[in-house]
Amino acid sequence: MTTQRLLSFARRGVLLLLAALPISGLRAQHPFELPDLAKLTGISDPQFSPDGKQVAYWYPRQGNTMNINEVWAAPATGGEGQNLTPTLDRDVFRAIWMPDGKALLLGGLDGNRTSLWLQPAKGGAARKLALGPVSPAWSFWVETNVSRTGGIAFVGSSPDRPAELYYLASASAAPKRLTDFNGAVHNLQLGKAETRTWQADGLTHDGQLYSSRSGMRIENMKFQA
């Protein structure tokens, strides 16, 4: 079950109860009461925009917690929320405002890896960041953060190197590895990892094919609708 976060602090210290937003049938036409909590299924991780005027949050597609997470935004003073990611079609597990408030950094599952996107705050298509073979780490959420100047840091791994810390000077920059904690593993002669994709039953499937040094192949298949 996904952990719910229903509270967030504005930059000026004003506490907002995200439950007061008009989501999943709830309207801000009456004082928030305890029974209203039953109408808040799936709302998670509220984040104030830098100017404090908007709140971004996760909400499952069609309100069904079995569906993928999408990112919504609503006025902090109340009003209807807007789905920012209806065309992204990815399970989003991170949404961080960029310093200028014009976009959000998103992180989510993307086939057999994790990716980062820059999502315009007004909606529209998200732009995937060019991370090369590096896949950001994911546990409860994608392990990334944004600095006040727009720099992006994340923990990530690649087929030939376990997790290290990476940094992008901007959303358009190439990732730079900052640590070498697992350099000894990187220097080993490891097996080869290859990605395979195919179509079946109207879905796109993907998986990882591993070849050991002895030539033995081990398949680790994942599925992406």
**Residue 31 binned pLDDT confidence (cut-offs 50, 70, 90):** low
Cα distance between residue 28 and residue 75, in whole Å? 12
> In terms of DSSP H, where are the helices of 158-204?
183-186
pLDDT, average across residues 126-137: 96
pLDDT digits (tens, 9 = 90+) for 156-165: 999 888 999 9
Of 1.10.3720.10, 3.40.50.1220, 2.120.10.30, 2.60.120.1570, the CATH number of 7-189 is 2.120.10.30
The answer to whether the pTM exceeds 0.95 is no
pLDDT, average across residues 115-130: 96
Mean pLDDT of the chain: 80
pLDDT digits (tens, 9 = 90+) for 10-20: 554 444 444 44
CATH 2.120.10.30 domain residues, the chain: 7-189
What is the radius of gyration, based on Cα positions, of the chain? 20
pLDDT digits (tens, 9 = 90+) for 170-183: 999 999 999 999 88
